[in-house]
Chain A
Amino acid sequence: MRDKRMVLFGFVRGAAAIVLALAVGAIFIFLSSDEPFTALRYLLIGPFVSFHGGVTAFNTQNFYQILAAMIPTIFTGLAVCVMFSANQFNLAAEGCVLVGGFVGSLIGIYANIATGWHPVICVLVSAVVCGLIMLIPSVLKVTLGASEMVTSLMLNFVLLYIVLHFLNYHFADRSKGATMTFPFLDSAKIPSLVSGTSKLTWGFVVALIISFLVWVFMYRTRWGYAIRMIGINESFSLYSGMNVGRMIILSSVIGGILSGMGGSLEVLGRYNTFVWRELPGYGWTGVTIAILAKNNPGAVPLAAFFLAYLNKGCQLMSTHSDVPSEMIDIIQAAIFLFFAAEQFLSGFRQKLVVKTTREELVRAESLDAIEGE
């Protein structure tokens, strides 16, 4: 009884947070736009519905684009989920996506590997590299107690400059105006899933499969179990005989592996050559996704879809109205703040607890009465 109510309450609370965040967005739209209703229409239903020539229809291309946009963020979302589950505020997923993309690109350009295996090798190598990178903040945390948050933030910049250095001085294609690498070999590109320009590649399918696998890892294996328990109560885990340090390192390494995979799948699927010259921001989106998914890998694709949808909505809104697409950040920040707020609607929760406790007491008493007879 109590659990069902609490689950329901969880949903209501989450929904309320999202509605409230959208309302905040709407307020800004009304403040800033001369055509607020057009803007809102594109923001909310634009991604799915095309309004061409007065005919409304399901917009397949947009839909594919949304799915394509989910590829890197599912991976970073999963990475953050695994690390946050172990109570590690490790924010280096951001840097790892970049490195993953870069390493994957290099192999995609310079290694001659049979078609079919080429992208697989690219992704795997970048995963391994990023997994190793994550040893830095996690080992420092476990052995010395150095804050993984600060080291990972610094690490992001270190990784950025290392990538920029190699990109500019070792692997740049000097024939181009802008700094970029040579084009990928065709064999390295991630094949498209659908025709068209949506960039929806097999990477999406991989992302879904990996989400499932990470869920299995977290909820159906001894390592995932240990990681979750450590995140909930480290002292308890230590007492139970778990190797806390090793599990914390494992969770971070997995976070690195996932981010690296995401980076290379994204780059090899979307572009013809490596073009990133700054941190791509997917690591931060991953944090939002992990918060929305409440650290459950199974919910990550859903949360990623929601954010990708909003993002697309914002893009459409900026194309078709006078509201800029960066609206997304305001909505996202608001979702973030309300969704993560433990005390949001807590008064309501308290009443619920009191009510159910009272009911249980009454029930227990009547049971006692029966037994007493």
Chain B
Amino acid sequence: MDAHEYVVRMENISKIYPNGIAANREVNFSVREGEIHALIGENGAGKSTLMKILFGMEQPTAGKIYLNDQRITLSSPLQAISLGIGMVHQHFMLVPSLTVAENIVLGMAPTTKSGLFIDYKEAVRLTREYSEMYNLFVEPDARVADIAVGMKQKVEILKALVRGARVLILDEPTAVLTTQETAELFQELKNLKDQGFTIIFISHKLKEIKELTDRITIMRAGRSVGVYETASITEQEISRLMVGRDVVLKMDKPEAVPGERVLCVEDLHYVNEWGKKMLDGVSFSVRQGEIVGIAGVEGNGQRELVDILFGLKLPDSGDAMVDGQSLVGLPQARIRTLGVSYVPEDRMTFGIAQTANIEENVISDRYRHKRFNRGPLFNMKSLHDESDRLIMDYAVLCKSRSQEVGMLSGGNIQKVVVAREFSSDPILIIADQPTRGIDVGATELIRNKLVELSRAGMAVLLVSADLNEVMELSDNLIVMYNGQIAGYFDDGQWDDLMMGEYMLGLKRQSDDEIRRACHA
């Protein structure tokens, strides 16, 4: 094998974050010159960390990086750029009020002869030149704020190319694109490949990977589980390798006895601000006493669904009702009085007030209740009792109720959130990624509580990107793909391979089968 075959080689890369999380363990990753290489894996498998290391944004704890067989160390993105590595981030790094051309030359603007002024004409010319050379059509004079998301992405790619990138990393580039824009992007990427560029393509979407890439590296739990020629591996195999589990936690849970429908979601449609359909006719219901899980790769509409259910977004059409009352457009206070409680995905932003103490955090949804007030004053004793009880019930490891929440570990912070949300006598609990990134003990406690509460008659909607979790906990399971429900399972007969096929869009149930999710 020719040594020059690989343009990038990463050897035995390990990355352990200061908080002890090992994002990469001894990963080997290499890319051939002039190929499109897919990097695939579940959320949290370590893809992003690996790419951040290659782009100099993170430094590896151990391991070596070679570029054209030269050992390199990368301490900043700037250095990576100067070595010809470019990255297109999932969240665009563009300045909205500047024009396309200005964004492209930012930090390296061409100047007029005097050296004082930007040669804007030259910037436009440069933009046009690259735009034409690589068939990436953009309007150099348009303000970035005014252009469509597909063009923004081209601007990002051009930014990297103008800076001399030969290796391009694209982090889930299609997540924000419409079908048409995706097709366009693929054409452009193939074009770049033909011109000798090397492309690393991070994605969850198997169809895209099959269509576009030459080789594929699959990651799972911080490790690389294999490198394959894309043509020689089936989508089923990729799916299996990606979600295959090391350990199977089996939960014993009593049989669910579903009662009345509590949450009814009817034909929700939502188009995001860039015109992409995020929810496309989603209907289902959640009944008393059952846990309905929503599985799916992130970005297939779960986020938007939950936001609509908690009053953060307005759907374009459709309705969502709790106990027969629509909650669309209601303020959060009203939604809560309907008996909905909510474990937010982003717990540090929405779940807690970091510098407030535990007590202040567990009472935030009920502090107005008569029980806790005497006339204008708080009834401190009943507040203390309440918080002590919750700390005890949810085994929050802390010194006292007056300890600052921000000082607790991630697991205990989540216990505080869950303690509040689970104890407000809700009729519906929406749990969004309830155990992401927390320790085993806290995870187990939260899962047990969810089962316990559902068996006590509450309706639970569980949204999780952790496939283990949804499969273990759910009584009935919905898989979302591309803003739609791809499958509804109520027989408890599911396994990871099957899930993988629905999650990745390889399979879809018939409309009739899916309609069962409404229990109408």
With A3-B403, A232-B356, A236-B351 in contact, do A241 and B333 touch (Cβ < 8 Å)? yes
Interface residue A233 (Cβ < 8 Å from any Cβ of B): yes
List the one stretch of B191-199, B376-384, B483-491 in contact with chain A.
Answer: B376-384
Residues of A within 8 A of B372 (CB): 222
Output the least CB separation between A224 and chain B (Å): 9
Output the least CB separation between A254 and chain B (Å): 14
Asked if B333 and A242 make an inter-chain contact with CB atoms under 8 angstroms apart, the answer reads yes
Output the least CB separation between B19 and chain A (Å): 11
Asked if B378 and A225 make an inter-chain contact with CB atoms under 8 angstroms apart, the answer reads yes
List the one stretch of B363-371, B458-466, B511-519 in contact with chain A.
Answer: B363-371
Count A-side interface residues using an 8 Å CB cutoff: 22
Asked if A243 and B333 make an inter-chain contact with CB atoms under 8 angstroms apart, the answer reads yes
- Bound complex: CA A236 to CA B372 (Å): 20
Output the least CB separation between A103 and chain B (Å): 27
- Bound complex: CA A227 to CA B123 (Å): 50
- Bound complex: CA A236 to CA B355 (Å): 12
With A235-B350, A239-B342 in contact, do A229 and B373 touch (Cβ < 8 Å)? no
Q: A364: nearest residue on chain B (CB-CB)?
A: B397
Interface residue A226 (Cβ < 8 Å from any Cβ of B): yes
Q: A226: nearest residue on chain B (CB-CB)?
A: B367
Interface residue B208 (Cβ < 8 Å from any Cβ of A): no
Residues of A within 8 A of B373 (CB): 222
Asked if B399 and A233 make an inter-chain contact with CB atoms under 8 angstroms apart, the answer reads no
Output the least CB separation between B336 and chain A (Å): 4
Interface residue A240 (Cβ < 8 Å from any Cβ of B): yes
Residues of B within 8 A of A222 (CB): 367-368, 372-373, 378
Residues of A within 8 A of B399 (CB): 1, 3
Asked if B365 and A241 make an inter-chain contact with CB atoms under 8 angstroms apart, the answer reads yes
With A233-B352, A235-B350 in contact, do A220 and B380 touch (Cβ < 8 Å)? yes
Q: A236: nearest residue on chain B (CB-CB)?
A: B353
- Bound complex: CA A3 to CA B403 (Å): 7
- Which residues of B340-364 have CB atoms within 8 Å of chain A's CB atoms? 342, 344, 349-356, 360, 363-364
- Bound complex: CA A369 to CA B331 (Å): 49
Output the least CB separation between B416 and chain A (Å): 12
Residues of A within 8 A of B364 (CB): 229, 236-237, 240, 242
Asked if A241 and B332 make an inter-chain contact with CB atoms under 8 angstroms apart, the answer reads yes
Asked if B350 and A225 make an inter-chain contact with CB atoms under 8 angstroms apart, the answer reads no
Interface residue B407 (Cβ < 8 Å from any Cβ of A): yes
Asked if B349 and A220 make an inter-chain contact with CB atoms under 8 angstroms apart, the answer reads no
- Bound complex: CA A199 to CA B365 (Å): 47
Output the least CB separation between A257 and chain B (Å): 16
Interface residue B404 (Cβ < 8 Å from any Cβ of A): yes
Residues of B within 8 A of A3 (CB): 399, 403-404, 407
Q: A353: nearest residue on chain B (CB-CB)?
A: B407
With A222-B367, A222-B368, A238-B332 in contact, do A233 and B349 touch (Cβ < 8 Å)? yes
Asked if B342 and A232 make an inter-chain contact with CB atoms under 8 angstroms apart, the answer reads no
Output the least CB separation between A188 and chain B (Å): 30
Residues of B within 8 A of A12 (CB): none
Output the least CB separation between B433 and chain A (Å): 15
- Bound complex: CA A27 to CA B50 (Å): 54
- Bound complex: CA A228 to CA B356 (Å): 9
- Bound complex: CA A233 to CA B360 (Å): 12
Output the least CB separation between B216 and chain A (Å): 39
- Bound complex: CA A289 to CA B322 (Å): 49
> Which residue, of B331, B364, B380, B404, has the highest number of chain A Cβ atoms within 10 A?
B364
Residues of A within 8 A of B333 (CB): 241-243
User: Mask for B472-484, Cβ within 8 A of A = 1, else 0?
Assistant: 0000000000000
Asked if B353 and A229 make an inter-chain contact with CB atoms under 8 angstroms apart, the answer reads yes
User: Mask for B391-416, Cβ within 8 A of A = 1, else 0?
Assistant: 00000000100011001000000000
Asked if A220 and B377 make an inter-chain contact with CB atoms under 8 angstroms apart, the answer reads yes
Q: Contact residues of A with B, CB < 8 Å?
A: 1-3, 216, 220-222, 225-226, 228-229, 232-233, 235-243
For the complex of A and B, the 8 pairs showing the least CB-CB separation, nearest first, are A240-B364, A241-B333, A232-B353, A241-B336, A233-B353, A239-B350, A240-B365, A236-B353
* 11 interchain pairs, CB-CB under 8 A: A221-B377, A222-B378, A225-B363, A225-B367, A229-B356, A232-B355, A236-B351, A237-B353, A239-B332, A239-B351, A240-B364
